[in-house]
Structure 1
């Protein structure tokens, strides 16, 4: 790339690439890098076809902005060069900031991901434990299926569910070694919504594990990928699960 511009006119391409790296998981980045490796430049049809095929909220806009900056700021750089830059950044992982997650209508330029896909992704990232809480649950077949796959690979699963909504029925097909917990009496209800994988990733938000909440309702959440934030959350729920504290009971 040419020399750095003045501070009043910085290059946008590195910033846009960094933002994309923060958004996409490693496997999605690898797919993009493979496309770029075969592209001659920003106007290559391979690039435009890849962008047009994206369905995640705001991703088409984000990739289009990268292509515009590539064309303006580094027109002589090949796709292989851009892929190498992305791969280099991916090889040095860093703590990822909180990421906005939504359900319902979304504008094309909003850099947010959809709750339904993120929920499945977080569950799929678990290697040892899953802690999932929801006030209501109905349908959500992709989520239930992903939990089943987690159980098959040896992940310990705790489901914290509100008894009054009969949420446990949505998970009846899961193996019996999945532990289901209900609130012990009292005047309050279990209203938390969280999906936590191991101690590294947690999805927090307003969406219950229902088909409408995951896709159609107007819902809002965040994904945390900083263990320093996720671990205290897990410790709180482990305290709630401790029998001596008489907060939750195992079914």
Structure 2
């Protein structure tokens, strides 16, 4: 039965709900698994045909009634597409392209999260330089009432690990934003740095990336990340960052 369930999941995950429902109806008209080979005409492409062939093979091995398999397909399709609608994950890539796989660019992804924010936005980065498009998006967010918070690496003069004072610059550019620093690192984290690069809006949309807020990261470097819309991850990430401030692990400067 396990193999049959896996075959059902494989098929519905690559089929629109209406196509899965159509297949379920066809299966419901059959007297049993012995007639499963008559379904192969349903497949519209080689990949679907492969998934369907596997399903038929496992159905014949399990030998369950037609209506039971039809119900499994409808139930699995409904559950899969409902879960997919709740959380969407998209690959983000900056740098050389293979031209074979479509990906979003780092700057596009970051701008999308910033522009989607309505109430709260939290961004972290090791270094930050003046990127006109990002700064403009942050200013737009503040203008529409978004509380913008940023965690940045402190300069060497303030106990951090970079030569430039990105925190002072950001405070001057975005005076109404909350700028945080990881000041008291304790014995356990001596020498540690703010290497997290994330942006999260309203607990529901986040970008997790290898890219700092620099022009090279947006345009030249090979950087990878993911955009996540919906589900528990953006919520947990946003609450975790804010909890770091509440517990004074990071402090507003």
Give the TM bin, normalised by the shorter chain: 0.5 to 0.7
Partners of 2:203 and 2:239 within 8 A in 1: no
Contact kept? 1:144, 1:171, Cα under 8 Å: no
How far the C-alpha of 1:234 sits from its partner, in A, is 1.2
Cα RMSD after superposing both structures? 2.6
Does residue 248 (structure 1) correspond to residue 247 (structure 2)? The answer is no
Q: In structure 2, what is the equivalent of residue 191 of structure 1?
A: 195
- What is the Cα deviation at residue 190 of structure 1? 1.4
Alpha-carbon distance change, 11 to 95 in structure 1, aligned in 2, over 3 angstroms: farther
The offset of 1:173, in angstroms, is 5.0
Alignment of 1:1-251 (within 5 A): 7=40, 10-11=43-44, 94-164=85-155, 165=162, 166-169=165-168, 171-172=170-171, 174-186=173-185, 187=190, 188-242=192-246, 245-251=247-253
Alpha-carbon contact 2:201-2:238 (below 8 Å) kept: no
Give TM-score scaled by structure 2 length.
0.61
2:167, 2:40 → 1: CA distance? 56
Unaligned regions of 5+ residues in structure 2, if any? 1-21, 24-37, 49-83, 156-161
Shift of 1:171: 2.7
Structure-2 residue corresponding to 1:74: none
Runs of 4+ residues over 6 Å off in structure 1: none
Aligned equivalents of 2:217 and 2:107: distance in 1? 9
CA 7–249 in structure 1, closer or farther in 2 if over 3 Å, else same:
farther
CA shift, 1:10, in A, is 3.0
Larger radius of gyration: 2
Could you tell me which runs of 5 or more consecutive residues in structure 1 were left unpaired when the two chains were aligned.
Answer: 16-92
Aligned equivalent of 1:37: none
| 1:199 alignment partner, SS class | coil
Task: Give the TM-score, by structure 1 length.
Answer: 0.61
Q: Relative to total residues, which structure has the larger helix share, 1 or 2?
A: 2
Query: Equivalent residue for 1:32?
Result: none
Residues 115-143 of structure 1 deviation map (CA, whole Å, 9 limit, x = unaligned) = 01111111000000100000111132111
Name the stretch that deviates more: 109-118 or 162-171.
162-171
Contact preservation (8 Å) 1:193, 1:204: yes
